Structure 1
Amino acid sequence: MSDMVNVNFKLDAETKRGMEQACKDMGLSLSAAFTVFAKKVSREKRIPFELSVDPFYSESNMRYLEEKMAAYKAGTLKFAKHELIED
């Protein structure tokens, strides 16, 4: 086996607790889980799951919300259906 190195990074406490519990339920340590992830990324040259952007944080939606907040503060807000709102 090649030389082992330490890798350090930060997680918020809630995420760490959730991951520790999930790993425990699978019989893995955090270190083993991250090693599995790192080996898969290294082998496949990709993130091994789908990543997507939350449309709420899109530039166009942020601009829309800023405009609505400005209208609210000015007392001119008119309500209209927005494409991200589901019935």
Structure 2
Amino acid sequence: MSTTNITIRMDEELKKQAEELFADLGLTMTSAIIAFTKQAVREQRIPFVIARNIPNKETLEAFEEVEEMEKNPEKYKSYTNVDEMITELLQ
């Protein structure tokens, strides 16, 4: 089978990190990219999930709760030390 060259551009730090990872796995950058490409062709899809990093409902509610606590700290219990907090939590 004949081979061909491809050229890609990526952030220098990302390339360095990828090369270190692949080396730890016993791969070169080329062999890792070939493995990815073969897997994509075999599965007829990108072989991992590509998604936006959107917080789920529970996380959004937690963010809102923290904002509320910051705006109105007098409404919420606070502790001066961890032992006090643990003691109350275990009761």
TM-score bracket relative to the smaller structure: 0.5 to 0.7
After superposition, residues 2-17 of structure 1 pair within 5 angstroms as 2-17=1-16
After superposition, residues 42-61 of structure 1 pair within 5 angstroms as 42-55=41-54
In 1, distance between residues paired with 2:19 and 2:34? 14
* Bigger-Rg structure (1/2): 2
After superposition, residues 58-77 of structure 1 pair within 5 angstroms as none
SS where residue 27 of structure 1 aligns? coil
CA RMSD of aligned residues (A): 1.8
Aligned to 2:26: 27
SS where residue 31 of structure 2 aligns? helix
Output the TM-score relative to the length of structure 2. Answer: 0.59
Number of residue pairs matched? Answer: 60
In 1, distance between residues paired with 2:38 and 2:61? 38
Gaps of 5+ in 2: 67-91
The structure whose RCO (Cα within 8 Å, separation 6+) is larger is 1
Structure number having the greater helix percentage: 2
Gaps of 5+ in 1: 57-82
SS where residue 55 of structure 1 aligns? coil
- Identical aligned pairs, as a percentage? 28
